[in-house]
């Protein structure tokens, strides 16, 4: 999942970004509202994590602006404010959940998953080639009814292709996605992960168009 994190505490921001990346998410991190507005267009995040106290205002200002545009993507407020009135203000502004600092990173990830499930419902993408079935919400891949265990980067690759079935994605786009999911990234990593995914899901699942890119067979 693509997530926008708006947090000006560098230590906390880095910890949240790294933890969510290890869980398989791609996290764009902004420390000001202005940067976050840019990331909304550039990264097109599927979920927002918003701090309240920022150098150029409050995360609620961004949330109000987003909702005023009719944008209903889910949002979770992260803040040190533990007053009931602050929670009510966040929820009234259109937030879907509210997490008070300090919080456990595992709880944050669980809440991200819960909010995403509420929005996505039981979104499923089916692929006939190789009898492959993907559940994007539950992050589950089934081959002939049996679950295939994928790493965070392998799942990130599959999910990106699955959200655009039949669409050819260039190597550079896949590289951008995978490099945002934790750890070092080698120059030939896209080919390596394509090969690993094919071994687990079936060679027919991902098609190579030489000189163009890759696509998940519809």
pLDDT category of residue 183 using cuts at 50, 70 and 90: low
Residue 65 has pLDDT above 80, yes or no: yes
* CA dihedral over 203, 151, 141, 190, signed as positive or negative: negative
User: What pLDDT does residue 19 have?
Assistant: 92
Q: Are residues 57 and 106 in the same domain?
A: yes
User: What pLDDT does residue 83 have?
Assistant: 66
Q: Are residues 196 and 133 in the same domain?
A: yes
**Mean local confidence (pLDDT), 190-217:** 90
**Mean local confidence (pLDDT), 34-55:** 88
Which of 76, 95, 120 is the C-terminal boundary of a domain?
A: 120
Q: What does the mean pLDDT of the chain come to? A: 83
**Of the candidates 9, 176, 23, the residue with the CA atom closest to the CA atom of residue 109:** 23
How do 125-127 and 97-100 pair as beta strands? Answer: unpaired
User: What pLDDT does residue 194 have?
Assistant: 94
Which of 103, 120, 137 is the C-terminal boundary of a domain?
A: 120
**Of the candidates 210, 211, 176, 171, the residue with the CA atom closest to the CA atom of residue 194:** 171
**Mean local confidence (pLDDT), 57-75:** 83
The count of domains in the chain is: 2
Considering the chain, what percentage of its residues have pLDDT values greater than 70? 87
pLDDT category of residue 188 using cuts at 50, 70 and 90: confident
Which of 67, 88, 120 is the C-terminal boundary of a domain?
A: 120
Q: Are residues 55 and 160 in the same domain?
A: no
Contact between residue 189 and residue 169 where contact means Cβ atoms under 8 Å apart = no
pLDDT category of residue 76 using cuts at 50, 70 and 90: very high
N- to C-terminal Cα separation, the chain: 21
Identify the CATH number of the domain in which residue 200 sits.
1.10.10.10
Determine the structural domain holding residue 180 and report its residue range. Answer: 125-216
Q: Are residues 51 and 131 in the same domain?
A: no
pTM comes to 0.57
* Residue 88 to residues 16, 57, 91, 142, Cα–Cα distance (Å): 24, 18, 5, 41
Q: Are residues 46 and 30 in the same domain?
A: yes
pLDDT category of residue 121 using cuts at 50, 70 and 90: low
User: What pLDDT does residue 122 have?
Assistant: 45
pLDDT category of residue 129 using cuts at 50, 70 and 90: low
């Amino acid at each position: 999942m693509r997530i926008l994190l708006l947090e000006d505490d560098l230590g906390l921001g880095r910890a949240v970004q790294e933890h969510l990346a290890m869980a398989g998410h791609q996290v764009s991190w902004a420390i000001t509202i202005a940067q976050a507005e840019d990331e909304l267009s550039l990264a097109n995040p599927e979920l927002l994590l918003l701090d309240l106290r920022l150098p150029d205002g409050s995360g609620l200002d961004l949330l109000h602006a987003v909702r005023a545009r009719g944008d209903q993507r889910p949002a979770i407020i992260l803040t040190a404010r533990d007053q009931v009135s602050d929670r009510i203000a966040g929820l009234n502004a259109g937030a879907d959940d509210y997490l008070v600092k300090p919080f456990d990173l595992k709880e944050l990830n669980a809440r991200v998953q819960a909010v995403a499930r509420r929005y996505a419902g039981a979104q499923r993408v089916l692929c006939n080639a190789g009898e492959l079935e993907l559940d994007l919400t539950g992050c589950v891949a089934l081959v002939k009814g049996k679950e295939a265990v994928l790493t965070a980067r392998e799942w990130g690759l599959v999910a990106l292709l699955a959200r655009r079935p039949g669409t050819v994605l260039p190597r550079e786009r896949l590289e951008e996605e995978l490099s945002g999911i934790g750890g070092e990234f080698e120059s030939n990593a896209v080919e390596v992960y394509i090969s690993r995914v094919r071994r687990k899901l079936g060679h027919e699942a991902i098609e190579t168009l030489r000189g163009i890119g890759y696509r998940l067979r519809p």
